A and B are shown apart, each in its own frame.
Chain A
Amino acid sequence: MELETEADGKHEAEMQTETIMEMEREVKTHTEGESVERDPESDTRTGEVKRERETEPVRVCVSGSAPLLWRSADLRLVRERMGIVGTLVGSLARQPRQNCRLGRPLQLLLEEARLLKDTGRAVLVKGAESECDDDRVNVEVEESYTKHLQHSYQEQGRLALEEKKRVLERVMTERLRDEALTDQPIRERLSSLKSSFSFPHSAMMVQLCTARARLGYAPDERDWLAADWPLPRDNKQEVRYRVYQDLRQQGYYITSAGKFGGDYLIYPGDPLRFHAHFIAVCVPIKSESPISDFLCLARLGANVKKTILLCSPSETESEGVIYTSIQWSGMV
């Protein structure tokens, strides 16, 4: 992964200097199924790995009715290639007891998961319900885990020993410089280090994996069929999905807007650096609403300083989505 970071960075900077139209073209080509390599400077090896990575579908794990992404590589991929932002909902590893910045898993909107699936970039999986009576211990896997742990312990012990030696040597050289002191006791400690050093098991560092590690059992993940989609596909969902698709193709970044009383928040660029400009409300084209609903939305938009966007997908697919913006202009 570290090897690709450099290339990615360059690639990223390249992309950002181009306009948003460029990015849209990129997304469109992906949607069409081509895997276009736009990075001529990287060497062939990284290029190969990258191509592999691009074509291998991402696994989206569905928990209940929420699609989740667990691997950092997947999070990065969908954001940089597909412009899918999602929301982090887990505790951050560095500081778990705060709510400002959260960590993995990344929860996707249903529309985001559907877009990934439809473009072939992801497969939806669901962990099978663990059967209670299947408490068998797979001896092989357990043995390999124990071996892994043992190896880690030995390595860490060795590293700790080396570090201690380095520290002592540094102290010794400092004492040598200061000729008044003798380095005899240090020498003695150094020589007896190997025998006297102890690295208890409790001092060993252990990793608590976030995403499923291959060391564990892989519960039977079955790939989903269309019937297994978490919520029934009704008209409301179709409307939302078409609006989402259209906005994403135009290059906007989209997140959820429940707290703002709308369906989506629309950003002109990556939400990390830009504020949202629009609150998108999906309205079926043939629906009727009382004027008071629009007044509520207009008031809301004025209060939070965002433009309300009413989005209605037209009857035919080819005609796209009709957008109407509401802005409170005041009374003269």
Chain B
Amino acid sequence: MADCAEKGPAAACENDDWSSEVLSPSELFAARTRDHKLPARGQKDFLPDGTQRQSEKLRRGLEEHWKLVSEERVERQGSLVKAEWKPKDNVVVLKCPAGKFWQTMGYSEQGKQFLQSEEALYLMECGNVEVFYRELPLSVQEGYELMLSNRTISLQQYQVFSHLKRLGYIVNRFDASAVPSLYERQLNLVQRRDKADRHHRKRKRSRSPSRSKDTPEGQSQTGENTEQKAHEDAMSSREESQNSGSSTCMIPSERAAACSMEVKQEGTSEERSCWWDSPLVPQSEQAQDRQPHSPQRSGLKWDFSRISFPNLGLDCPLTSLQAPDPGLLPSAVPARACDVSAWLQKLNLREERLSRREREQQDRERQYKRGVNEDREVRSCRNWQDYKELLQRRSRQSCRKWPAHLWNEAVKPLTAPGQATSTGDLLQQIGMMQPSRLLDEAAGLVEDSGGMRISFDVYQADTVAEFKKSNPGKPYSRMCVCSFDGPVPDLRTLKRLAFQSGDVPVTYAVVDNGDISFYSFKDFQLPTDCCH
């Protein structure tokens, strides 16, 4: 510090205020060779004992402390970026080209480079930027007073911001509208938005799992491609409606064709009739002459009694399948017969070889366990409905044997033997409380005006090299700044903020007179015995 009145030639504006901290030119010049290391602090003592040694240590410690604290920032004029504070917009506009900090901070608009107020203040404190206001440079104190207000960000938010920046994180302001919604995330639209330009033209192969590997798909004409793609989209997103009428009617039949593994050739049919001929393809525009083999047609109903699916099991010697009716396939997809013997060979039809222990276990079980397929009553059921009725009948019968002292009282058991079909079902019946997740019923919560809100997005420090301001990606965490004076966030606030943040965890930065502590709430489920 300089006592300006003492030193040599003082300019007219040098004041005689003894408390001024302005450095003289000689001091500025000498500051080029300043030490940049921080002195290490020694061990503390337990109790003051009034000895000279202790007081000497304290004195030296304090001197060193004041020396560090009173040091002023001195920078080369050429390495400073000049900027100007615009109070109307609460932003700082750069007058010189930005330096290295531009990689992670600031934004461009109409050809000019801007910095947010907290970013500018942080860079001022680091000595990278010199901000002017009304043609005069701002001191850090004035920066705090002008740039931190309730129109920009508060002092506590700035303390959290600078704390994280000093650790190396990339911190941006939170923008609620930029959070992808749950739906978008489910559809993976977030990634698609980035790569949309690069990939959508190249997609030839469909992603549909039901596509037969035998169906030739090499022949790609654009019309067919779009149809295929449209088909894909309809199957996956269910939001795009088919535009061509013929493709509408082809969907069910195409699905049916896809479900089977066969392609049969028209005309060269074997003895067995094609299963798709007998049914009744539900359409009206389908040309009658395209299906010469289908004699019966009655309306828009599938007659399953007349559909016989090809049996490719062990008991059937069929090894070749006919080509399907080309009328059932999209246009320009040729149909051909195929030989499934190769596929049959891949089936593992070997006898299961049990170890001795497994055989013994099986023998033991055979004594008391009855396979459900051997049950006569079960075999007489014709469909699922019958089977369920059988189960219910059986459980009702067993009801009559229940002990009276349990079931005739005011307090009954929660479940009866045989009432649950699985362990999971049983646990569900006897469960008193349902597990809840943090995001249950969080969608409808409305933000109150004075409530906590998310202030910043934080990105990790090691991503600086690939960080792009235009597309920052998913943040590492989102910060909500509060203080120990304020209330502890209640469940409602936790739910609201967790929902607002999407799939990014929210961290609560609690500021207590300059000290910052970080808390976060982890949502996890208690383990259950089995999945249900």
A residues with a Cβ closer than 8 A to B are 1-3, 9, 12-13, 16-20, 49, 53, 61, 63-64, 66, 68, 70-73, 75-76, 79, 87-101, 103-105, 107, 109, 127, 129-130, 132, 135-138, 141-142, 144-145, 147-148, 151-152, 155-156, 159-160, 200-217, 219, 256, 258-259, 268-270, 272-275
List residues of chain A with CB within 8 A of the CB of B149.
129
**B363 in the interface (beta carbon within 8 A):** no
Complex CA–CA separation, A204 to B15 (angstroms)? 22
Q: Are A203 and B137 in contact (CB under 8 A)?
A: no
Of B152-160, B296-304, B471-479, B491-499, the one with at least 4 CB within 8 A of chain A: B152-160
Q: Given A1-B18, A88-B69, do A66 and B87 touch, yes or no (CB 8 Å)?
A: no
Give, as a whole number of angstroms, the nearest-CB distance from B7 to chain A.
Answer: 11
List residues of chain B with CB within 8 A of the CB of A73.
1, 19
Partner of B48, one of A3, A49, A107, A274: A274
Partner of A130, one of B57, B87, B126, B514: B87
Give, as a whole number of angstroms, the nearest-CB distance from B380 to chain A.
Answer: 65
Pairs across A and B, CB under 8 Å, 29 listed: A13-B55, A16-B58, A17-B50, A66-B155, A66-B513, A71-B19, A73-B1, A94-B38, A95-B36, A95-B38, A101-B38, A103-B71, A109-B513, A137-B135, A141-B136, A142-B135, A145-B136, A152-B28, A155-B29, A156-B29, A205-B75, A206-B130, A208-B127, A208-B130, A209-B141, A211-B141, A214-B20, A214-B22, A275-B44
List residues of chain A with CB within 8 A of the CB of B35.
94
List residues of chain A with CB within 8 A of the CB of B512.
256, 258-259
Q: Given A1-B1, A214-B17, do A13 and B166 touch, yes or no (CB 8 Å)?
A: no
Partner of B71, one of A79, A93, A107, A204: A93
Q: Are B139 and A212 in contact (CB under 8 A)?
A: yes
Q: Are B69 and A214 in contact (CB under 8 A)?
A: no
**B76 in the interface (beta carbon within 8 A):** yes
Complex CA–CA separation, A218 to B75 (angstroms)? 24
**B337 in the interface (beta carbon within 8 A):** no
Q: Are B13 and A209 in contact (CB under 8 A)?
A: no
Partner of B45, one of A2, A152, A156, A274: A274
Which partner residue on chain B sits nearest A52 by CB separation? B18
Name 5 extra pairs, CB < 8 A, besides A94-B38, A107-B513, A142-B136: A93-B72, A105-B141, A130-B87, A206-B77, A214-B20
Q: Are B139 and A64 in contact (CB under 8 A)?
A: no
Complex CA–CA separation, A127 to B201 (angstroms)? 60
Complex CA–CA separation, A147 to B517 (angstroms)? 47
Q: Are A202 and B78 in contact (CB under 8 A)?
A: yes
**B92 in the interface (beta carbon within 8 A):** no
Complex CA–CA separation, A202 to B140 (angstroms)? 22
Q: In the complex, which residues 127-149 of chain B have their Cβ closer than 8 Å to any Cβ of chain A?
A: 127, 130, 134-142, 144-146, 148-149
Q: Given A1-B1, A72-B21, A258-B515, do A211 and B46 touch, yes or no (CB 8 Å)?
A: no
Give, as a whole number of angstroms, the nearest-CB distance from B108 to chain A.
Answer: 24
Q: Are A64 and B20 in contact (CB under 8 A)?
A: no
Q: Are B58 and A272 in contact (CB under 8 A)?
A: yes
Give, as a whole number of angstroms, the nearest-CB distance from A217 to chain B.
Answer: 6
Main secondary structure of the interface of A (DSSP, over half): mixed
Q: Are A93 and B73 in contact (CB under 8 A)?
A: yes
Which partner residue on chain B sits nearest A97 by CB separation? B166
Q: Are B139 and A270 in contact (CB under 8 A)?
A: no
Q: Given A63-B144, A73-B19, A159-B25, do A216 and B139 touch, yes or no (CB 8 Å)?
A: yes
Which partner residue on chain A sits nearest B163 by CB separation? A99
**B355 in the interface (beta carbon within 8 A):** no
List residues of chain A with CB within 8 A of the CB of B34.
94
Q: Are A209 and B25 in contact (CB under 8 A)?
A: no
Q: Are A92 and B68 in contact (CB under 8 A)?
A: yes
Which partner residue on chain B sits nearest A2 by CB separation? B3
Q: In the complex, which residues 1-42 of chain B have their Cβ closer than 8 Å to any Cβ of chain A?
A: 1-3, 6, 11-15, 17-23, 25-26, 28-29, 31-32, 34-36, 38
**B458 in the interface (beta carbon within 8 A):** no
Partner of B66, one of A18, A72, A275: A72
Q: Are A72 and B87 in contact (CB under 8 A)?
A: no
**B312 in the interface (beta carbon within 8 A):** no
Q: Are A202 and B141 in contact (CB under 8 A)?
A: no
Give, as a whole number of angstroms, the nearest-CB distance from A272 to chain B.
Answer: 5
Partner of A213, one of B139, B145, B167, B517: B139
**B65 in the interface (beta carbon within 8 A):** yes
List residues of chain B with CB within 8 A of the CB of A79.
62
The 8 closest A-B pairs by CB, nearest first: A202-B78, A258-B512, A16-B55, A155-B25, A72-B70, A87-B514, A209-B139, A127-B145
Give, as a whole number of angstroms, the nearest-CB distance from B121 to chain A.
Answer: 10
List residues of chain A with CB within 8 A of the CB of B168.
97
**B251 in the interface (beta carbon within 8 A):** no
Q: Are B44 and A273 in contact (CB under 8 A)?
A: yes
Complex CA–CA separation, A76 to B34 (angstroms)? 23
Q: Are B125 and A206 in contact (CB under 8 A)?
A: no
Complex CA–CA separation, A258 to B72 (angstroms)? 31
Give, as a whole number of angstroms, the nearest-CB distance from B72 to chain A.
Answer: 6
List residues of chain A with CB within 8 A of the CB of B125.
90-91, 96
List residues of chain A with CB within 8 A of the CB of B18.
1, 49, 53
Give, as a whole number of angstroms, the nearest-CB distance from A199 to chain B.
Answer: 11
Q: Are A99 and B166 in contact (CB under 8 A)?
A: yes
Q: Given A72-B1, A87-B515, A135-B134, do A210 and B50 touch, yes or no (CB 8 Å)?
A: no
Partner of A91, one of B75, B136, B146, B162: B162
List residues of chain A with CB within 8 A of the CB of B484.
258
**B88 in the interface (beta carbon within 8 A):** yes
Complex CA–CA separation, A270 to B468 (angstroms)? 47
List residues of chain A with CB within 8 A of the CB of B28.
152, 156, 205-207
